[in-house]
Structure 1
Amino acid sequence: MNVFFPGRVRHLGALACLAWAMPSLAADALSEITVTAARQAQPRQAALADVTIIDRAELDRAGQDALPQLLARERGVEVASNGGIHNSTSVFIRGANSNQTLVLVDGQRLGSATTGGAALDAVPLAAIERVEILRGPSSSLYGADAIGGVINIITRQGEDGPAKLRASIGAGSDETVRTQAAVSGGSDGWRYAVSGGYGQSAGFSAIANTGSSQYNPDRDGYAERNVSAQLSRQWQPGHSLDARYLYSRVNSEYDGSKTGYDRTRQIVSALSLASNNQLTSWWHSRLRLGETLDDSTTYSQYPSQIRTRQRQYSWQNDFTLAASQRLSLALERLEERVSSSGFAGKAPAGRNTNSATLVYAGQFGDHHVQANLRQDDNSAYGDKTTGGLSYGYDLSRQWRATVSGSTGFRAPTFNELYYPGYGQTQIRPETSRNLEASLRYQDGGSQAGLTVYRNRVHDLIVTQRPCSVKGYLSCANNVNRAVLEGVSLSLGHSWDSTRVRADLDWQNPHDADTGKRLARRASRLAKFSVNQDWAGWDLGAEWQLSNRRYDNVANTNPLGGYGLVNLTASRALSRDWQVQARWNNVGNKHYEQAKDYGVSGSTLFVNLVYQP
């Protein structure tokens, strides 16, 4: 079912005219800072890359949702979940596979080296200050796995001033309850922030198809708890130490058999210590060491345990060459340590990567340039060199045109390399080459952007049946090519009390050999939102639309298109108290993100916040 606008690129001309007609980004948007697009802080409007920021205000409106559901409301992002919000979830950026998107927490890699994915749903929203989405191959900045893009989760930190308390408790549909408490502050060079939370829900049946061999009519709920902390000390001007810790544990139920009690325990954690030093007026040094953990244990008739621990060391030096020219040099080491019940001692315990990254950014009047170069040396699959070059030209104070080219790669997972009866040690990393062009407008309360991209992926690792290796029924192998191409349009405007946004995507992520669309990816997406301040209320409405997708690579199992309407509201009850509400899927729409799996119906969640 096609639920919205025609799919012809020829209609872009009319939509581009709408962008020109927009009357004139809000002042606060112009001051937003991104650190992901060039590995160091810069105003968002100065970034040449396609980057979006989900700010704290948007996170506060999340209600009962987890991080993947917030990402799904952003341009060029799709989500497919095998049941509830804490079941297996895939996130696709610009049509790339879920394992082709790199996830960072405060710049550190988070994810599983066995499956290739990251448990985004387990990262607590209350611990997040903002999320930056960088679209397009970014391996020349961050190394392996950044073919579709990068999701950088930046956690909360304290600010100078007396201690600030924030506590909340919320309840809603499916017997959902969540509570959170946090305190932050700072003085005399010290800053701190500590938070903790708990949540649970009875959920709904993860599999909706009663004819499925795995269907179980029981409700599949979850219980989650989390804690985060940050402590920093500026011991003299330009010199500081920063420590951060994040821990989250989720127990989620799923349907794995008709009568069994199937559940997964997911733990994610991140610990880091960083020293920031302004060594001279033109040289800033950042030395960081840290460790992240992705630990998943399944309790069912087929129990399993997989764990990835990533130790990371980095030293980045930022040099100011001139008033409008900067050079960054980063040296990094990544140590991945893996354990899995499926390997039975037949795989190495880990692999190491040493890398060097060079980033140059310069502005010459109306001309802007960014060049990235990175070398990764991995003990399992060898060397990979990636690069990126972007050029932007200011057509006027409001308009900028940008062209860029970049390369990326995805490292084979431990499953693809070593899993007994499936893995192949000779397979190569996936590689990609991307070209894109964009036109952006921002002025006052208005913004518009048009981006055209084409990303070619080679040596795609897929399951080959029958396997070319004697004795294997199926195996991982570099046998496919894919093309990720599309056009993305964004429009937004802010009045005194009204904010509107529209994001439209025409995309064609497909197998380059067969022409078939990649599984669970739509060809057309639309996302609209409006927020209105009225009589002390902040009211919001969201409309998400997707056309038909397919659940398999042969494109024989269609998933119907759908449209979802969500409503939000918040109001200050007093100086210290606020009430927030989110009503998802107002029309109780039945749809599928994955064949046979259920999705949440119409749900309401109300949150009471105390912040003196």
Structure 2
Amino acid sequence: MNWKRYVLLVAGLAVLHAGPVRADRAAAPQQLDEVVVTATGSAKELLDAPGAIEVITAREIRDLNALNVAEALETAVGLVVSRESGRVEAPGIRGTRSKHTLVLLDGRRLAFGFNDQVDLRQIPTVMVERIEVVRGPASALYGNDALGGVVNIITRKAPEQWHGTVTGQAGVNISGEAAEYAGSGFAGGPVTDRFRFLVAGELRHKDGWDESGSLPDDGYEEEPGFLAGRAAFDLTDRQTLTTGLEFMDTVYTGDQFYENLARERRADEKRRGYFLQYDAGFRSMDRLMVRMNRSEYENELEFTPFAASGERHTEQATTQAEARYTGLFLDGHLVTLGAEYRRDGLDDTLAGTRTDRDVDNISLLIQDEFHLSDPLYTVLGIRWDDHSAFGSQWSPRGSLVYRLSDHLRLKGSVGQGFRAPSLTELYVTSLRKRGKEVFESDPKLKAETSTTWELGIAGDHGRYRGGVTGFYTEVEDLIESVFLRTEGSGKDKRDIYRYRNIAEATIKGIEAEAGVRLPGGFSLDGNLTWQDVEDRAGEGAVGGLPEYKGYFKLGYELPDWRLRANLRMSYIGNLTYADGNSESYPLFGAYVAKGLNERFEIFAGVNNLFDKQVEQNDVVQIDPTTVYAGITAHF
């Protein structure tokens, strides 16, 4: 571990904080109003937003001590973060696979990473303001990849008053392994009346660990680093130019058995993002947004001793230009018009074989929000995408929100989603299971499509809130790997697969969530999802997905003492793997924070309180009991 990096990070942020800060900013961050933008692209109160949508606030993230977005989504309704090949942690919504969830950063697309996934471990929460999760297809607004839903990670904007936060913490698991150290912070404020900025950074180190004593290591050594900036310039009172960048660099090092030999695996994964955005407001409801976005991913994978088929260099990039105009027409129709051009590129070199491909996507969309009657709010939308690899796709959606009372809404929707085959599935031959399986590409693949119907009721009143939603989804042309043949024998034996559009599935389920503020500073919140996934191609239930997923939290807050605490439980029920094995388990965690004064707060907690152990395909799915403690300073 390089202690100098942590010292430099904290010292640098402290210098930035030494500007004209105000003491009243030292208090805890403000509570956010429950306003969402991901459901329609325009701001809506959560209760009035069409469809099933959830907000995870910065405070909820802090009370989980979630250092990255994967950990922050522990509480989400109907969403499961699973560990994929290469230990990637990616979200799946409503029984769909992780490739069917579109991950956005401030509404911007991210380039795909390892095995066409966006690894949520690589996105820290240091500058996250909230996370909005849309359950159900959202391709009518966002196009490709939004077949199962959308996770939109919304970061802090450049603030109009100077403030910032610095946090340092350390932790270790119950065996004395996997020691972790983290330092993070952000600071920003106005430079002039029209110009303001924000900077954020994080450095972490986590030791590898291996309780089993056999390969692969249970946990790899991790060294993540993160740096980001935002700047905003008010051209006029109604026009703003915003720009920003992100840089993420994570090195993973650990031992595993690859091509029948014990080797050290080292992966250096980098993410870079840049954007420039123009926003203008003309009349009370008229808005124009024009944005240029560039997202890049790079991975250098190598083994020691050298493995020719294991050395791999991958670069993926997404270049995106989009414009959206929202205006009020005909005394009651809020219409959104949008256009987008996107180029996705892949440069992949494996064992000396290079694949260099690009695909283009052009899209147009229109959405109309209006009231059919005083209590009945309607959203109709459709998007057309033209993809250079497989052709065009129409994605319609319709939603209704019926106002039963001031505090109660009845919601229904039907929509379609799609996922275009990835560049890897179209053009790249890849290796899995430590080189024992070869997956061949197919340039003739079609897009996967889905149709979802849902109906729900949601409300809040005083100390109470709750809601229930039922959904039914049909998915067609699922891309699966089909076994072709076996080559070689003994230690050189390999199974050959090829991607094909062969599968269909139906998914049905019920989502319930509720919360109540109890006397004495206590609160109780929870959610539970039941889902049933059936493969209509005759394979039975789809493996790797739980039938039940729940989350429950008992919270406590005593403001006069600056004290907060919670005890929480996550539940996975009837998780059935592809080999037919099934298991259920709860995970418990606890957290406590005590403010020393307006500026300083200490905290401590424990994850996986009862040391539940889950392993699948020789990969540990859950870290052992881990304790941590730290301190936060507000400026």
Scaled by the length of structure 1, what TM-score is found?
0.88
Q: Provide the residue aligned with 2:273 in structure 1.
A: 270
Identical residues among aligned pairs (%): 20
Amino acid corresponding to residue 97 of structure 1 in structure 2: R
Q: Provide the residue aligned with 2:535 in structure 1.
A: 511
Q: Work out which of the residue numbers 457, 471, 475 in structure 2 matches 1:439.
A: 457
Q: Provide the residue aligned with 2:73 in structure 1.
A: 71
CA distance in structure 2 between the partners assigned to 1:144 and 1:201 by the alignment: 35
Q: Work out which of the residue numbers 514, 517, 520 in structure 2 matches 1:491.
A: 514
1:112–1:294: 8 Å Cα contact kept in structure 2?
yes
Q: Provide the residue aligned with 1:146 in structure 2.
A: 146
Amino acid corresponding to residue 536 of structure 1 in structure 2: R
CA distance in structure 1 between the partners assigned to 2:246 and 2:32 by the alignment: 30
In structure 2, do the counterparts of structure 1 residues 65 and 281 end up closer, same or farther at CA, with 3 Å as the change threshold?
closer
**Is residue 2:451 matched to residue 1:428?**
no
SS of the aligned residue for 1:133 comes to strand
Equivalent positions of 1:52-71 (< 5 A) are: 52-63=54-65, 65-71=67-73
- Which structure shows the higher strand fraction? 2
Q: Provide the residue aligned with 2:362 in structure 1.
A: 354
Q: Provide the residue aligned with 2:575 in structure 1.
A: 549
Q: Provide the residue aligned with 1:181 in structure 2.
A: 185
In structure 2, do the counterparts of structure 1 residues 353 and 190 end up closer, same or farther at CA, with 3 Å as the change threshold?
same
**Is residue 2:444 matched to residue 1:418?**
no
2:227–2:248: 8 Å Cα contact kept in structure 1?
yes
Q: Which protein has greater RCO, CA pairs closer than 8 Å, 6+ apart?
A: 1
Amino acid corresponding to residue 168 of structure 1 in structure 2: T
How far is the alpha carbon of 1:422 from its aligned partner?
1.3
Q: Provide the residue aligned with 2:385 in structure 1.
A: 376
CA distance in structure 1 between the partners assigned to 2:351 and 2:448 by the alignment: 23
Deviation digits for residues 425-479 of structure 1 (CA, Å, limit 9, x no counterpart): 1110001111111111212222111111011110000011238xxxx94211111
2:312–2:351: 8 Å Cα contact kept in structure 1?
no
Q: Work out which of the residue numbers 377, 387, 396 in structure 2 matches 1:387.
A: 396
> What stretches of structure 2 of length at least 5 have no aligned partner?
1-29, 173-177, 430-438, 486-494
CA distance in structure 2 between the partners assigned to 1:563 and 1:486 by the alignment: 20
Amino acid corresponding to residue 522 of structure 1 in structure 2: P
1:113–1:338: 8 Å Cα contact kept in structure 2?
no
CA distance in structure 2 between the partners assigned to 1:176 and 1:473 by the alignment: 39
1:30–1:43: 8 Å Cα contact kept in structure 2?
no
CA distance in structure 2 between the partners assigned to 1:597 and 1:92 by the alignment: 19
SS of the aligned residue for 1:118 comes to coil
CA distance in structure 1 between the partners assigned to 2:618 and 2:457 by the alignment: 38
2:66–2:72: 8 Å Cα contact kept in structure 1?
no
Q: Work out which of the residue numbers 526, 551, 557 in structure 2 matches 1:533.
A: 557
Q: Work out which of the residue numbers 202, 205, 208 in structure 2 matches 1:203.
A: 208
Q: Provide the residue aligned with 1:220 in structure 2.
A: 220
In structure 2, do the counterparts of structure 1 residues 198 and 484 end up closer, same or farther at CA, with 3 Å as the change threshold?
same
CA distance in structure 1 between the partners assigned to 2:394 and 2:484 by the alignment: 33
SS of the aligned residue for 1:204 comes to coil
SS of the aligned residue for 1:40 comes to coil
SS of the aligned residue for 2:611 comes to coil
CA distance in structure 2 between the partners assigned to 1:49 and 1:490 by the alignment: 15
Deviation digits for residues 302-331 of structure 1 (CA, Å, limit 9, x no counterpart): 121222110110111010226753110011
Q: Provide the residue aligned with 1:520 in structure 2.
A: 544
CA distance in structure 1 between the partners assigned to 2:203 and 2:379 by the alignment: 43
Amino acid corresponding to residue 574 of structure 2 in structure 1: R
Q: Provide the residue aligned with 1:169 in structure 2.
A: 168
How far is the alpha carbon of 1:289 from its aligned partner?
0.4
Equivalent positions of 1:91-106 (< 5 A) are: 91-106=91-106
1:562–1:591: 8 Å Cα contact kept in structure 2?
no
Q: Provide the residue aligned with 2:23 in structure 1.
A: none
Deviation digits for residues 347-386 of structure 1 (CA, Å, limit 9, x no counterpart): 5521110101111112331101011100001111110010
Task: Give the stretch that moved more between structures: 137-146 or 277-286.
Answer: 277-286
Amino acid corresponding to residue 607 of structure 2 in structure 1: N
Scaled by the length of structure 2, what TM-score is found?
0.85
In structure 2, do the counterparts of structure 1 residues 112 and 366 end up closer, same or farther at CA, with 3 Å as the change threshold?
same
CA distance in structure 2 between the partners assigned to 1:283 and 1:67 by the alignment: 33
**Is residue 2:484 matched to residue 1:466?**
yes
**Is residue 2:44 matched to residue 1:42?**
yes
SS of the aligned residue for 1:154 comes to strand
Task: Give the stretch that moved more between structures: 218-227 or 440-449.
Answer: 218-227
CA distance in structure 2 between the partners assigned to 1:149 and 1:82 by the alignment: 18
Amino acid corresponding to residue 48 of structure 2 in structure 1: A
CA distance in structure 1 between the partners assigned to 2:605 and 2:498 by the alignment: 45
Q: Provide the residue aligned with 1:453 in structure 2.
A: 471
2:48–2:401: 8 Å Cα contact kept in structure 1?
no
SS of the aligned residue for 2:541 comes to coil
Q: Work out which of the residue numbers 583, 601, 605 in structure 2 matches 1:582.
A: 605
Q: Provide the residue aligned with 1:22 in structure 2.
A: none
1:466–1:473: 8 Å Cα contact kept in structure 2?
yes
1:292–1:311: 8 Å Cα contact kept in structure 2?
yes
SS of the aligned residue for 1:415 comes to helix
CA distance in structure 2 between the partners assigned to 1:260 and 1:357 by the alignment: 50
Q: Provide the residue aligned with 2:12 in structure 1.
A: none
> What stretches of structure 1 of length at least 5 have no aligned partner?
1-27
In structure 2, do the counterparts of structure 1 residues 91 and 537 end up closer, same or farther at CA, with 3 Å as the change threshold?
same
How far is the alpha carbon of 1:559 from its aligned partner?
4.4
CA distance in structure 1 between the partners assigned to 2:400 and 2:547 by the alignment: 29
SS of the aligned residue for 1:121 comes to helix
Task: Give the stretch that moved more between structures: 387-396 or 342-351.
Answer: 342-351
1:204–1:600: 8 Å Cα contact kept in structure 2?
no
In structure 2, do the counterparts of structure 1 residues 596 and 348 end up closer, same or farther at CA, with 3 Å as the change threshold?
closer
Task: Give the stretch that moved more between structures: 345-354 or 391-400.
Answer: 345-354
In structure 2, do the counterparts of structure 1 residues 30 and 70 end up closer, same or farther at CA, with 3 Å as the change threshold?
closer
In structure 2, do the counterparts of structure 1 residues 443 and 605 end up closer, same or farther at CA, with 3 Å as the change threshold?
same
Q: Provide the residue aligned with 1:500 in structure 2.
A: 524
CA distance in structure 2 between the partners assigned to 1:594 and 1:369 by the alignment: 47
2:451–2:475: 8 Å Cα contact kept in structure 1?
yes
SS of the aligned residue for 2:615 comes to coil
CA distance in structure 1 between the partners assigned to 2:151 and 2:121 by the alignment: 13
